[in-house]
Amino acid sequence: MNLFIRPRRLRENPVLRGMVRETRLSPDALIYPIFVREGAGVREEIPSLPGQVRYSPDTLPYGLEEMARAGVKSLMLFGIPEKKDELGSAAWQEDGVVQQALRAGKERFPELYFITDVCLCEYTSHGHCGALCGQRVDNDATLPLLARTALSHVEAGADMVAPSDMMDGRVAAIRAALDEKGHSGTPILSYAVKYASAFYGPFREAASSAPAFGDRRGYQMDYHNRREAVKEAGLDVAEGADLLMVKPAMAYLDVMLAVREAYDLPLAAYSVSGEYAMIKSAAAAGLVEEAALACESAACIFRAGADILITYYAKELAGWMREGRIG
């Protein structure tokens, strides 16, 4: 058989495989989510997320040092307050848990890039992402609360804010609030496409953010829809978002590709708690090789169009990249 075209020629040598690789990964593209809770001396394992830790602001530098040593330069902070109320007012207090963590972290590790999740679900007594009108989240009444929270984060040292609430108009409200106070250079990473997903289960335990009643399908997206994702992302582009996000990640690769093809802004993907927990559980049961599956999952997310990956595996992935398992 006389075959002139043999794709296998480019696969047989590992050096050549690396040379012709289409998708390239770097630790610079990783963001590590970190949970901080009010208190002192806290360094507690999170049962729903094996290998992840809740810190208090004073112990956060231990986590940041470990992250920096692994080669990860960017993190996203999630706060867990001691006291909650109907409006989630602890979210924007000057001495709030995220604000304390930012000051402590920036003092010790000014070279790291601090991103904050902007939402009210961890802070409200009812666990929903905004102010209520009856049992319904009041979109427009929530916007100034989110803007106030984002501004407080930036004033405490945040390099970027990431609204995750899925209220209509929140990017514009935050942009206006930041610009008015002289923070026009602070970028907004919008959770532009965030689905109501069963993949969030472990996070809700980790962040104590489960809703006290109902669910979030009235404001988070229906997972049956893809065209709506392009619409949502376009609205945030028009409102001044600097980066877009799709969440969850691996079960939504088609959505990621659609957003990538529609817009030129940098695109992040959040590989969420359920995705992480499934790999951890399967590996613990001896069903899969953890590093291989985590690397393959990350690569497919970048292959679908992501420029940035938010993942609980950030530290490990950075190490596996250095080892040549992925990248």
The three-point CA angle 214-212-151 to 5° equals 100
Query: Cβ of 210: how many Cβ atoms within 10 Å?
Result: 13
Single out the catalytic residue among 73, 194, 280, 315.
Answer: 194
Decide: 231 and 225 in contact? Cβ < 8 Å: no
Single out the catalytic residue among 73, 84, 247, 315.
Answer: 247
- The one-letter amino acid code at 297 reads S
For the chain, helix (H) and strand (E) counts, in that order, are 11, 12
Nearest to 162 by CA among 242, 217, 48, 93: 242
Tell me the backbone φ, ψ of residue 57, rounded to 5 degrees: -55, -35
- The one-letter amino acid code at 173 reads A
Bridge partners of 311, per DSSP, are 271
Rounded alpha-carbon distances, angstroms, from residue 322 to 200, 253, 279, 317:
30, 26, 21, 9
84 tagged catalytic: no
**Measured distance CA(193)–CA(133) in Å, rounded:** 24
Which run of H or of E encompasses 305? none
**Measured distance CA(141)–CA(130) in Å, rounded:** 8
List Cβ neighbours of 24 (8 Å cut-off, separation of 6 or more): 327
User: Which residues are designated catalytic?
Assistant: 194, 247
